[in-house]
Amino acid sequence: MQAIDQMMTAKTIAAVRELYGKDCSGEQIQLQKTRKEFEGDITLVVFPLLRLSGKSPENTAVEIGNYLKINCDEVAGFGVVKGFLNLSIIDSYYLSFLNKAFITENYGFFNATSGSEKIMVEYSSPNTNKPLHLGHIRNNLLGFAVSNILAATGKKVIKTNLVNDRGIHICKSMLAWQQWGNGETPQSSGKKGDHLVGEYYVKFDLEYKKQVNDLVNSGQTKENAEKIAPLMLEAQEMLRRWEAGDAEVRNLWEKMNAWVYKGFDETYKRLGVQFDKIYYESETWIPGKKTVLEGLEKNVLVQHEDGSVWADLRDKGLDEKVLLRSDGTSVYMTQDIGTAQARQQDYTPDKMVYVVGNEQNYHFKVLAIILDMLGFPWAKTLHHLSYGMVELPEGKMKSREGTVVDADDLMDEMIETAREMSKELGKLEGLNDQEKEDIFRIIGLGALKYYMLKVDPVKNMLFNPRESIDFDGNTGPFIQYTYTRIRSVFRKADDMGVRMPAESTIAVALNSKEKNLLKMIHEFPSVVKDAGNAFNPSLIANFIYDMVKEYNQFYHDYSILKEENPEIRDMRLMLSDVTAGILKRGMEMLGIEMPERM
C-alpha cells in the first residue's frame, strides 16, 4: 500500500501539470503533518508552487485542493489557511493501513538485501585502567541503539569496540599496583577486577600530586614539577619498556588487563549491549606506526629535530599534529590510524561511525584528514557521532580523583529505586519473588536507558536517577506501564473468549482519538528511517512517548472489550495490538525490555 505522502506528491505533480501546464519536481512538493489546531491530516505547503501557478497562495491552494478532491479518492475534503492546504484523508484509507500493519511481521522495519549499505559502528571504547562509568553508559547505549536502528532500516551493521588497553594511563595503574598493591587480586579482595584496577589509578594520582606539591615547595615551578616527579618518570619508562616488549612489564599488563576484561564483560552483559568484533589498541598501534613511517618516507609527514613525527595541517586551517613522540612511542592518533586500516581489511564497510564524546571533535576531524593525506580513499566515509557529556546534579565527574559514578553502582541504584517505587505503588500483587526481581530489573534499567536516549545526542544532559524512574511523564516506566496495560486488555479478551480475526476488512467510522493513533502508526516507518539517517535514537524515544500519550487518551475515552459493536471492538483490538507491537519494537531498538505486567 502506497504511503499517503508518496501518493499526495504524485497527485500534486499531476495537479500542477494540468492546472498550470508546468512540470514540477518531487523536491518542490512540501508535505507535513497538519497542526493540531487545524482540521486535516496532511498539509501541502503551496509557497514553492507560486512561481508555477502565478497566483496568490490562497487561490493556488484552493485550486489544487479542488483538483485533489475530485481526482484523488483518498481525499475527503480540504481547508486553506493562507499558503497551507490542509487535506483530510478518508477513514477507509487508514483502516486499510491498519489491516496492513496488523498482518505485517515487524511492521515498520526494513530487511537488509545483498546491496544494503554496510555500516560499522564503534562504541564503548573503554580504558583498561578504570571501570565503566556514567559517561560510558551513555556511549554504550547510544552506540547499541544506533546499531539497532540502522539494522531496522535495512543496513548491514557491524558493532565494534576499541579497547584502549595500552598507554601511559594503563602504566599508571600498573605502577601503583606494583608499589602499593601487596599482591592484591580480585579473588583476594572480593572486588570486580575493573574496580580494583581503577582504585590503583586513583592511588597513582594521589601519590603523584603529593610528589608535585613537594617539588613545588622545594622551589620548582608547577609545570616543571609535573614533568620531573619520580612517579611520572617511572610511568613513562614503563611505557617505553612495554613498547620494547619487556617480559616483566608485559606479564603484569596481561594479568591486570585480564582482571579488567572480566569486569567489563559482566557490566556489558548486565547493560544488555554486545559487539560483533573487539579491537585492541595493543594490536593496532604497530601497523599504525608503520603507516606513519611510510608517510614520512613519502614526505606526506614531517619530522622535527627531536625525532618526533608530525602531520602539518596548517594549510588546512588547523595546527600540526604529533603522530610519534621523540622517543618513538605512539599516540592515540597513531593507534586510530592502524585501527581504521584493520577494520577496512576485515570488513570493508561503506561507512564507519565513531560514537565518541564531543570533547574529541577535533581529534576525529584530524583523523579523517590525515588518513586522506596518507592516500586512503575511504577516509571520507568516516563519521563522528559526537555526543554531549552527562553530568549529575552534583556536577562533573573526574576519574583520576575517584569522583565518577560507576556503571555497576548506578545500575544497582536504579534497580533498588524501581523496587522501592513499585512497592509504594503496590502494582505487583500475585507475583512470586523471582518474578518481582525480574520486573524491578526491567523497570530500573529501562528507566536508565530511556532517560539517556530521549535526549538528542548532541546535547549535554543532566542525569537525575529519581526523576528517570517516575511512573508518569516522559520516562521508560511510563511507556512500559502503558505497554503492560495493553497486554492486560488481551489477557482479559482471552478470558472472555474474544478472538481477533487473522485480518480484517472492517469498515467503521473513526473517532478523532482512533484516527490520531492510526496516523501515528502510519508515521512509524518514516520515524525509523529518519532516526537511522540522523543517527539519533531520541527520535524513536520521543515518538514512542507521544504514541503512549495518544493511546492513553484513547483508552481513557473509549471502551474496548465492552464495546457492543463487534466490528468497532475488533478494530480497537487491532489498533491496540499494532500499537503494542510498535511500542515493543521501538523500545527494543533502544535496548529496553518490555515486561508483560507491572
Instruction: Delineate the domains of the chain, giving CATH numbers in brackets.
Output: 4-89 (3.30.1360.70), 123-391 (3.40.50.620), 407-589 (1.10.730.10)
The Cα–Cα gap between 260 and 170 comes to: 11
The Cα–Cα gap between 175 and 194 comes to: 16
Model pLDDT, residue 397: 42
Provide the grid cell at 250. Answer: 608485559
Strand partners, 86: 43, 79
Q: Is 212 exposed, middle or buried (0-12, 13-18, 19+ CB in 10 A)?
A: buried
Model pLDDT, residue 394: 64
The Cα–Cα gap between 218 and 209 comes to: 14
Q: β-strands 84-89, 461-462: how paired?
A: unpaired
Model pLDDT, residue 561: 95
Residue carrying C-alpha cell 536516549:
453
Q: Is 161 left (phi over 0), alpha (psi -120 to 50) or beta?
A: beta
Q: Which helix (DSSP H) or strand (DSSP E) does residue 88 occupy?
A: strand 84-89
Which of 470, 427, 436 has its CA nearest to residue 450?
Answer: 470
Q: Which helix (DSSP H) or strand (DSSP E) does residue 287 occupy?
A: helix 281-297
Profile the chain (598 residues) by mean pLDDT over runs of 10 residues.
Answer: 80 96 92 92 95 96 96 95 94 91 93 92 95 94 98 97 93 97 96 96 96 96 96 95 94 97 97 97 94 97 96 95 90 94 97 97 97 97 95 57 75 91 74 90 96 96 84 92 96 91 77 94 95 98 98 96 93 96 98 92
Model pLDDT, residue 352: 98
The Cα–Cα gap between 22 and 20 comes to: 5
The Cα–Cα gap between 227 and 221 comes to: 10
Which of 5, 89, 85 has its CA nearest to residue 45?
Answer: 85
Q: Which helix (DSSP H) or strand (DSSP E) does residue 320 occupy?
A: strand 320-324
| Residues 102 and 108 sit within 8 Å (Cβ to Cβ) | no
Model pLDDT, residue 467: 84
Please list, in sequence order, all residues whose beta carbon lies within 8 angstroms of the beta carbon of residue 190, skipping any fewer than 6 positions away: none
Model pLDDT, residue 205: 95
Model pLDDT, residue 431: 82
Please list, in sequence order, all residues whose beta carbon lies within 8 angstroms of the beta carbon of residue 282, skipping any fewer than 6 positions away: 165, 166
Q: Is 78 left (phi over 0), alpha (psi -120 to 50) or beta?
A: beta
Q: What is the pTM of this model?
A: 0.91
Q: What is the DSSP letter of 120?
A: E
Model pLDDT, residue 162: 97
Residue carrying C-alpha cell 517516575:
470
Model pLDDT, residue 504: 64
Q: Which amino acid is at 71?
A: N
